[in-house]
Amino acid sequence: MYLRGHGCVDSILCDGDDARPVDRRSAAMSEPRFSDLCARLYPEAILLHSERLTGGVSADVFRLDLELADGSTTSVVCRMHGEHHSGHPAELEYRVLAALHEKGLKVPAPLLVDAGDGLLPDPWLVIAFVDGSSQVPEAQLAARISLMAEELAGIHATNTKGLPDLPERLDPLPELFDFLPEEAEWTALRAHLQTLSGTRYNGPPSLLHGDYWPENLLWRDDAIVAVLDWEDAALGDPLSDVAVARVELRYRYGPPAMQWFTEAYAKFNEVDPLRLALWQVYVAAAAQKYMGLWRLEPAREAHMRREALASIREAGELLMGHAGA
């Protein structure tokens, strides 16, 4: 969960991306690997243009624009699992998307998956293109955070019957100790965490997204139209997802956004503040340990590190304060 890195792979899936200059056709035709893939999807389809989407560490993501046999055009997205991939195998990600799409969740429809025949150099899957934007206008921030929380609560309420086998995410301990910083500031928190027991979630396991953050959501007309990137999906404690969203919102919009999200989510599901704090330490500690692999701009990484450490500090104070009460 949450260790594979950050990216903006959906940032190009926006209004206005349909322009296709005529000279793109010859350039795209020089990419036989994608042309062959498109032909598997749609007989006699012609690849007009392929474009790598920016960001991402775990997957290389491409938008493919096609001309179909009847002269109409369409677009799809190819996700290739590169050397840094740490999420589900392509075939499992495909089956997860297929099951969730059948259940009516807002996920891109899976269209094709790697047959293991070496068509592309890395494992891959193709999903439907979704027209939308991950950008959130400042004036709509509070309203959209509420909708984000409602969407996540809906994901957690999904009937898990019929889903493929997924890993469990039930207890932040003992893995958290591998993530916690080693500096002296954290000695007291580490010692306190070592005294804890009964941290395993005992409720019915919920469907978890695993990386629920603003740029994995696509919006259109003030509504969420797609939740992207399910390669970290799991079953387990819903507050692990809430913690991811809280820390991510803090990076982008500051501490108040964390509270707005939590309050909005609590309208649908109970939020145990101590268990949430424990997951927040887990998420933020993992982030500060691994974000050096995320290929961030130096200023952004420095900001995110500060906010991750502040998130550990605040959640740790809550946990230790409760113990001393």
Beta pairing partners, 63 = 51, 77
Residue 19 lies in a domain: no
- Per-residue pLDDT of 264-284, as tens digits, reads 999 999 999 999 999 999 999
Residue 281 lies in a domain: yes
Cα torsion through 54, 58, 62, 63, rounded to 10: -80
> Residue 32 pLDDT > 90, yes or no?
no
- Per-residue pLDDT of 181-229, as tens digits, reads 999 999 999 999 999 999 999 999 999 999 999 999 999 999 999 999 9
Give which of 139, 138, 129 is closest to 77, Cα–Cα.
Answer: 129
Tell me how far apart the alpha carbons of residues 190 and 188 are, in angstroms, rounded to a whole number.
5
Same domain, 87 and 187: no
Same domain, 168 and 308: yes
Kindly write down the DSSP assignment for every residue of 71-137, as one continuous string: S-EEEEEEEEE-TT--S--HHHHHHHHHHHHHTT-S-PPEEEE--SSSSSSS-EEEEE----B----
Residue 292 lies in a domain: yes
Residue 15 lies in a domain: no
Number of domains in the chain: 2
Query: Which CATH number fits the domain that encloses residue 313?
Result: 3.90.1200.10
Residue 91 structure tokens: 């075939």
Alpha-carbon separation of residue 288 from 8, 158, 180, 186, 194 (angstroms) = 19, 31, 9, 13, 20
Residue 22 structure tokens: 């005529």
Least confident of 80-94, 137-151, 174-188, 257-271: 80-94
Same domain, 152 and 214: yes
Least confident of 55-59, 67-71, 252-256: 55-59
Tell me how far apart the alpha carbons of residues 141 and 145 are, in angstroms, rounded to a whole number.
6
Three-state SS annotation for 97-114:
HHHHHHCCCCCCCEEEEC
Same domain, 82 and 208: no
Alpha-carbon separation of residue 67 from 52, 110, 258 (angstroms) = 18, 19, 44
Same domain, 102 and 236: no
Same domain, 85 and 116: yes
Give which of 273, 272, 304 is closest to 288, Cα–Cα.
Answer: 304
Same domain, 203 and 295: yes
Residue 253 lies in a domain: yes
Tell me how far apart the alpha carbons of residues 319 and 189 are, in angstroms, rounded to a whole number.
9
Same domain, 81 and 220: no
> For residue 260, what pLDDT is reported?
97
> Residue 66 pLDDT > 80, yes or no?
yes
Same domain, 152 and 257: yes
Tell me how far apart the alpha carbons of residues 325 and 322 are, in angstroms, rounded to a whole number.
5
Alpha-carbon separation of residue 164 from 92, 124, 135, 206, 235 (angstroms) = 8, 18, 32, 14, 11
Residue 16 lies in a domain: no
- Per-residue pLDDT of 146-166, as tens digits, reads 999 999 999 999 999 999 999
Query: Which CATH number fits the domain that encloses residue 50?
Result: 3.30.200.20
Residue 17 lies in a domain: no
pLDDT confidence band for 255 (50 / 70 / 90) = very high
Same domain, 81 and 181: no
Three-state SS for 68?
coil
Q: Taking a C-beta distance cutoff of 8 angstroms, is the pair 77, 126 a contact?
A: yes
Residue 13 lies in a domain: no
Classify burial at 313, counting beta carbons within 10 Å of its beta carbon; exposed 0-12, middle 13-18, buried 19 or more. Answer: middle
> For residue 53, what pLDDT is reported?
81
Of the chain, the percentage scoring pLDDT greater than 70 comes to 87
Query: What residue numbers bound the domain in which 58 lies?
Result: 24-128
Among 128, 162, 181, identify where a domain stops.
Answer: 128
Among 128, 147, 163, identify where a domain stops.
Answer: 128
Residue 303 structure tokens: 């900001």
> Residue 23 pLDDT > 50, yes or no?
no
Among 98, 128, 158, identify where a domain stops.
Answer: 128
Same domain, 101 and 152: no
Same domain, 82 and 182: no
